[in-house]
Amino acid sequence: MLKLAIVGSGPSGFYVAEALLKSGSVEVNMLERLPVPYGLVRYGVAPDHPKLKLPALAFARTAALPGFRFIGGVTVGRDMSVGELREAYHGIVFCGGAETDRELGVPGEGLPGSHAATEFVGWYNGHPDYLERRFDLTQECVVIIGHGNVAADVCRILAKPVDDLRQTDIAEHALDALAESRVREIHLVGRRGPAQVKFTDKELRELGEISQASVSVEPGCLDLNPASVAEVNDPREQAAGWNMQLLREFAARSSADARRRIFLRFLESPRELYGTDHLEGVVLEKNILDGPPFGQTARGTGRLLRLDCGLLFRSVGYMGVAIPGVPFDARRGIIPNAQGRVLHDGQALAGIYCAGWIKRGPSGIIGTNRADAIETAAHLLSDFTSRDDLPAKPGASALLPLLASRGLRCTDFQDWLKVDAAEIARGAAVGKPREKFVRIKDVFDSISDQAAA
Ligand code: NAP
């Protein structure tokens, strides 16, 4: 029997598991550092986007397939080495996603009041790692750097009336803090122009649909250079055209009477964050675009302006994190690979694979990871077509005692189903789809309570 380990239980991990298990007689053990599964679907998707969490239903069906086992609460590279994992399994697929954020690399980035968007996302989604983070929502002016969907998520959560979030699965502590928010202005700052925003049109449209909020675009910002006109008019790339149409609609709107105002700003790059013991603002440099259609980059003009703000989120992309014992491309934040086969000095490492954001970088929507996972699974299976002379591997029968001997308390999928039911019941009591346990201890207490009942 081919025994395989998947490291990470987010979308790519589950899509790889599905592809492998559907191929026939394999055993798949999915290792996850948290005691609960689903990674980005549970902790990354915005609470007001419940439809994007529906893949979790398909993941639960995968978990019910014969040969699947979930092992939660184990960090590979810390609780056990990759070498130990290789001893126990024929193959390992790393699906850890992109766990950290990119930095701006400008002075003042470390000032209190300057945060990564990933921290805020983890905090409002009840990720245990971000529970203790504090965001100064007494500030009236917030700046978000980046024009991607994560920036749009952060902007919506800051701009929406708190009553519009009460029926979501947003963490209770975030709801309480947002109820006291004094935020009035949110500036979304992009280094390139309106034709190059990375928002999908649905996310951009939503910014204009927030109740009691306005969205403003200076009409002059929508004048395009010839290369951008070519991008917008290219029939193969309709997204830019749709976004431009929305931006023109926004530019024509009035913002009178809005409780909160969103400003979409273009062609500006942060050069410095200023403040003495707390963030007081950001110096922005005006840019122009250089290069051919679809290859335009932002070039500073030397013209600087100051934008006072007490809270800033950088939302300029995610990065993967290295695992000791696994090759890593630190510049790109990915595991070097050829269609999912992990490479060391350009050579494929036998039995080591990767999928998802740690394979290709943080791009695409959740569904994008399915095709990516199928590619990796296909290569893995083709590397093991002849299984007659495979050495026997112990899989979980060696792994679980090893982890227990190190004092780790691991969870299985049945444990998760108990936690899931308890969270849904807690949510129902307050009119939410779910009230997450945000402390790891509370997850384990819930499992123990139900075992005792
Ligand atoms: P993203 O889409 O890559 O956007 C990053 C933004 O940051 C871009 O506007 C980029 O500008 C800008 N940027 C990068 N480096 C910068 C710098 N040094 N200074 C100033 N600006 C900089 O990344 P993301 O928003 O983190 O999203 C990651 C992935 O998750 C995307 O594929 C996204 O679609 C997906 N996602 C989807 C949803 C959804 O489906 N609802 C929600 C959240 C995330 P340039 O274009 O100039 O590089």
* Structural domains of the chain sorted by starting position, each given as residue range(s) with its CATH number in brackets: 2-99+320-411 (3.40.50.720), 101-317 (3.50.50.60)
Residue whose CA is closest, atom 23 of ligand 1?
Answer: 317
Res 32: pLDDT? 98
117 alpha carbon – ligand 1 mean position (Å): 11
How many residues make up the chain in this entry? 453
Closest C-alpha to ligand 1, atom 22: 316
pLDDT tens per residue, range 27-44: 999 999 999 999 999 999
Helix 149-159, helix 117-124: angle, nearest 10: 50
Confidence (pLDDT) at 289: 98
Q: Summarize pLDDT for 244-254 with one digit per residue, the tens.
A: 999 999 999 87
Q: Is the pLDDT of residue 388 over 80?
A: no
Q: How far apart are CA 85 and CA 393, in angstroms?
A: 10
Look at residue 451 in the predicted model and tell me its pLDDT: 77
Quick one: pLDDT at residue 134?
96
**Model pLDDT, residue 80:** 95
Q: Rounded to whole angstroms, how far apart are CA atoms 286 and 266?
A: 9
Read off the amino acid at residue 176.
D
The C-alpha atoms of residue 102 and residue 90 are separated, in whole angstroms, by 34
| One-letter amino acid for residue 6 of the chain | I
- pLDDT one-digit tens code per residue, 141-189: 999 999 999 999 999 999 999 999 999 999 999 999 999 999 999 999 9
Mean pLDDT on 393-412: 96
- pLDDT band for position 257 (cuts 50, 70, 90): confident
Residue position matching structure tokens 């707390």: 278
Pocket test for ligand 1, best of 156, 191, 265 (most atoms within 8 A of CB): 191
In short, whether 170's Cβ falls inside 6 Å of ligand 1 is no
210 alpha carbon – ligand 1 mean position (Å): 21
What is the number of the ligand 1 atom nearest to the C-alpha of 197?
9
pLDDT for 237 beyond 90? no
pLDDT value at 342 more than 80: yes
- Which residue, judged by its Cα, is nearest atom 20 of ligand 1? 191
Cα distances (Å, whole numbers) of residue 114 to 120, 275, 330, 371? 11, 11, 24, 36
Of 76, 52, 177, nearest to 124 by C-alpha is 177
Q: How far is the CA of 147 from the centre of ligand 1 (A)?
A: 6
Please state the atom number of ligand 1 nearest to the C-alpha of residue 200.
34
148 Cβ below 6 A of ligand 1: yes
Name the DSSP class of 317: -
* Predicted local distance difference test score (pLDDT) of residue 217: 94
What percent of the chain stands above pLDDT 90? 93
Asked whether residue 449 carries a pLDDT value surpassing 90, the answer given is: no
Ligand 1 centre distance from Cα of residue 199 (Å): 8
Supply the pLDDT for residue 256. 72
Q: How far apart are CA 231 and CA 358, in angstroms?
A: 29
CA of 104, closest atom in ligand 1: 18
Cβ-count burial of 397 within 10 angstroms (0-12 exposed, 13-18 middle, 19+ buried)?
Answer: exposed
Decide: 315 in ligand 1 pocket, CB within 6 A: yes
| Averaged pLDDT, 403-430 | 97
Whole-angstrom Cα Rg for the chain: 23
**Nearest residue CA, atom 3 of ligand 1?**
317
Ligand 1 pocket, 297 CB below 6 A? no
Of 125, 150, 314, 363, best ligand 1 pocket probe by most atoms within 8 Å of the beta carbon: 150
pTM over 0.85: yes
Query: Looking at ligand 1, which atom is closest to the CA of residue 202?
Result: 41
Q: Separation of 314 CA from ligand 1 center, angstroms?
A: 10
Residue 5 near residue 92, CB atoms below 8 Å? yes
Task: Name the nearest CA neighbour of 67 among 36, 37, 30.
Answer: 30
Confidence of residue 81 (pLDDT cuts 50, 70, 90): very high
Residue 218, Cα to own-chain centre: how many angstroms?
30
